[in-house]
Amino acid sequence: MTDSTMIRYHVRIANPAAHVLEVTCVVPRPDPAGQTVSMPAWIPGSYLVRDYARHVLAISARSGDREIKIDKVSKASWRCAPCEGELEIRCEVYAYDLSVRGAYLDTQRCFFNGVCLFVEVAGANNQTCELDIERPPEMPGTDVGNWRVATAMTAVNVDERGFGSYRAGSYDELIDHPFEVSDFTIGHFEAGGVPHEIVLAGRHRADMDRLCSDVPKICKQHMRLFDDAPPMHRYVFLTNVVSEGYGGLEHRASSALITRRSDLPITNTSGIEKPYRRFLGLVSHEYFHLWNIKRIKPAVFTPFDLSHEAYTRLLWVFEGVTSYYDDLALLRSGLIKPDAYLELLADNFNKVWQTPGRRRQTLEESSFDAWIKLYKPDENSANAVISYYSKGAVTALALDLTIRRETGGRRSLDDVMRALWRRYGKTGTGLEEDGFEKLAHEVSGVDLHAFFDQAIRSTQDLPFADLLAEFGVALAFSRLPEGTSGASAPDGGASAALGVRIRDDGGRVVLASVLAGAAAQQAGLAGGDELLAIDGLKVTPALYATVLAQFQPGDSVTVTVFRRDELLQFELQVGAAPMSQCKLSFDQTVAAEIEARRSAWLQVGTPSI
């Protein structure tokens, strides 16, 4: 039986070559004073105002055979004139955003998030929504005849390819189920009694059998951590396979992923090499979000108001803690070895230590200012901003080890996360701004005030080396030669540095950042300058490190650059590369007590449910 108050949406793949989707919304009982509709400004999980209304090409309204006047009243909202009977609003939407946050349509593929297509009907957010995906007719120059539909939204009446009707309990649920419509590959597996699907769109040679063997281990490990039944009835990994790209966005019963095809395993290969490990880490991160942000979430997100920014100082909890557990789960599930886990942990340390912005911005500030800083990087971001992902991850590590040490192993961050789930996630209660800290105190029985003051409200580094040593892990830093991302300087030597970060701009060396207080900044060099020569020696992206290696810290050099169209020269004294390259290693000579403490933390190959 059809609900007479149900909001009905319809998507038609109108013009793949022009990247245009046609979307209609039928409001059965419009506001008698005139119905207002709007488009979201941002998408949950990505904290930047993206103004999705900017992609609306045309909008009109009808009631029966009568055209209804519709006026735009703000950048993202429209008001329809009063009418009797059903109101139909029709939009043409431009869809050519390849990211996991947008909508995309071409002759090969269609993908969309609901925030990009579906107007929100004022006053009807909690009404049941029905969505109909129209099967496209054959179109010259396209492959639509082979297209199918993949989504985690509940199907009501669909054909063998998935075209037809779907249903969501509210607008919030409607926009939390992305859709992949293309000629994709699909693999199936079960974890925790719940069916899962891995969808791969794009050309690939991936070993689906292996993916459907490895990914369940991650899913089961996260289920085991939260010690409960999975919080959904079905799950779908929607994966776009590309030559270059990486990213993901979490949803209540699915995730949208972008991965390099070279990161996927191919048939007749074995082992977890770094590219495949990167993909598994992405899967692990987005799956952990099923609990940590999709259900355990800040009070300001309950419910979401997608018309403007929603400020919280807790993003480090939801992204940083998730970034800690995404790697740890690969180890605990038995997919990677302990040494590989230390490499992943060192990567996060490097991201923090190689960012001077950690001396400027606290973790709480990084979370609060995500809307204007993290997602809007510029040439000074390295000096001004620290990521709540990477610093949040190492802070979560420190919190976990601190609780384990202070309680003699009786409590850990695992216990805090389980308590968060029971108290906030399962009940749908929003987490207060001080709720995580209070719960950590309560669950651990440890006074953590000094820890949190230093870790999230100051820019001081935590005593990571001492803390890791108590778990049998040695932390050492060496100098990373400027202009490389490889090994440290030989014997930790004082390699020369100008104090810049460079990027390859079509074979040109461009200063992406000039680091605060370093030689280049003191001399007057600026972000965006094109570096031509150092002491008369030409530099290219490939030769930069080689040229710089000819100098010693303290040498005086002339640096030649183009700033816009002006040729400039600067005199500076070469500095030394900072001690910012991290290496972690296991101490093999530790006492039995420390070995036991380390084993309890890492839980290598812990059996999953």
Name the nearest CA neighbour of 358 among 328, 399, 316, 318: 316
Chain-wide mean pLDDT for the chain? 95
Residue of higher predicted confidence among 275 and 493: 275
Helix, strand, coil: what percent of the chain each, to 5? 30, 30, 40
Max Cα distance, the chain (Å): 83
Judge contact between 158 and 165, C-beta under 8 A.
yes
**What is the reported pLDDT for 488?**
52
Residues 157 and 16 in one domain: yes
In a domain, 555, yes or no: yes
Residue 487 has pLDDT above 70, yes or no: no
Share of the chain above pLDDT 90, in %: 92
Write down which residue in 259, 290, 321 finishes a domain.
290
pLDDT tens digits along 307-358: 999 999 999 999 999 999 999 999 999 999 999 999 999 999 999 999 999 9
Angle (nearest 5°) at CA 337 between 318 and 481:
75
Q: Are 69 and 141 part of one and the same domain? A: yes
Name the band, by pLDDT with cuts 50, 70 and 90, for residue 1: very low
The pLDDT tens digits for 40-84 are 999 999 999 999 999 999 999 999 999 999 999 999 999 999 999
Residue 177 has pLDDT above 80, yes or no: yes
**What total of structural domains would you count in the chain?**
4
Q: At what angle do helices 338-353 and 321-332 cross, to 10 degrees?
A: 160
Q: Which of 184, 314, 326 is nearest to 250 (CA)?
A: 326
Q: What pLDDT, on a 0 to 100 scale, did the predictor assign at position 142?
A: 77
Find tokens 């008698």 and name the residue: 32
Kindly give the residue spans of alpha helices, DSSP state H, lying in 52-113.
none
Residue 72 falls inside a structural domain: yes
Domain boundary among 156, 183, 210: 183
Q: How confident is the model at residue 269 (pLDDT cuts 50, 70, 90)?
A: confident
Using one digit for the tens of pLDDT, what is the confidence trace for 446-469? 999 999 999 999 999 999 999 999
Looking up residue 546, the CATH number of its domain turns out to be 2.30.42.10
Is 481 within a domain? no
Handedness of CA 364, 389, 323, 99 (dihedral sign): positive
| Residue scoring higher pLDDT (608 or 540) | 540
∠454-458-459 over CA atoms, to 5°?
110
C-alpha to C-alpha distance for 50 and 30, rounded to whole angstroms = 28
Instruction: Look up residue 74 and give its two tokens.
Output: 């703000």
376 with 441, same domain?
A: yes
Asked if 336 and 462 sit in the same domain, the reply is: yes
Nearest to 292 by CA among 331, 247, 325: 325
Average pLDDT over residues 116-135: 97
281 pLDDT tier (thresholds 50, 70, 90): very high
Is the confidence at residue 494, as pLDDT, over 80?
A: no
pLDDT of residue 407: 97
Residue range 25-34: mean pLDDT, rounded: 97
Task: Clarify whether residues 470 and 508 are in a common domain.
Answer: no
State the pLDDT confidence band at 102, using cuts at 50, 70 and 90: very high
Which H or E element spans position 346?
Answer: helix 338-353
Mark whether 57 and 72 lie in a shared domain: yes
Question: How confident is the model at residue 491, as a pLDDT?
Answer: 46
Determine the pLDDT at residue 2: 57
Whether the predicted pLDDT of 552 surpasses 60: yes
- Domain hosting 188: range is 184-290
C-alpha span between 519 and 173 (Å, rounded): 53
Q: Is residue 104 part of a domain?
A: yes
pLDDT at 138: 85
Question: Residue 486 pLDDT more than 70?
Answer: no
Nearest to 609 by CA among 188, 227, 237: 227
d(CA 391, CA 365): 12
Helix segments in 262-302, DSSP class H: 274-288
Lowest mean pLDDT among 139-143, 190-194, 502-506: 139-143
Token representation of residue 201: 């769109």
pLDDT over 70 (residue 146): yes
The mean pLDDT value for 471-477 works out to 96
> Does 516 share its domain with 454?
no
pLDDT grade, residue 229 (50/70/90)? confident
Residue that finishes a domain, picked among 239, 273, 290: 290
Q: Which amino acid is at 306?
A: L
The structure tokens listed for 526 are: 């600026």
- Whether pLDDT at 116 is above 80: yes
Q: Are 287 and 279 in contact (CB under 8 A)?
A: no
* Pair 17, 43 in one domain: yes
582 found inside a domain: no
pLDDT in tens, 573-591: 999 999 999 999 999 999 9
CATH number at residue 281: 1.10.390.10
**Residue 257: pLDDT over 60:** yes
Residue 260 lies in a domain: yes
pLDDT of residue 598: 96
Residues sharing a CB contact under 8 Å with residue 380, sequence separation 6 or more, in sequence order: 513, 527
Q: For residues 184 and 201, is the Cβ–Cβ distance under 8 A?
A: yes
pLDDT at 608: 56
Q: Are residues 395 and 509 in the same domain?
A: no
Least confident residue range of 60-74, 134-148, 352-366, 408-422:
134-148
Ramachandran area for residue 247 (φ above 0: left; ψ -120 to 50: alpha; else beta):
left
Answer whether residue 356 is part of any domain. Answer: yes
Write the single-letter amino acid at 61: A
Q: Are 571 and 542 in contact (CB under 8 A)?
A: no
Task: Quote the pTM value.
Answer: 0.96
Pairing of strands 473-479, 496-497: unpaired
Same domain, 279 and 339: no
Lowest mean pLDDT among 161-175, 337-351, 414-428, 491-505: 491-505
pLDDT over 90 at 228, yes or no: no
Provide the CATH number for the domain around residue 36.
Answer: 2.60.40.3650
Give dist(CA 165, CA 48) in Å, integer: 31
Q: How many CB atoms lie within 10 A of CB 22?
A: 18
Average of per-residue pLDDT across 398-427: 97
Q: Is residue 171 part of a domain?
A: yes
Q: Are residues 526 and 564 in the same domain?
A: yes
- How would you classify residue 315: left for phi > 0, otherwise alpha for psi between -120 and 50, otherwise beta? alpha
Mean pLDDT of the region 157-183: 98
Residues 314 and 425 in one domain: yes
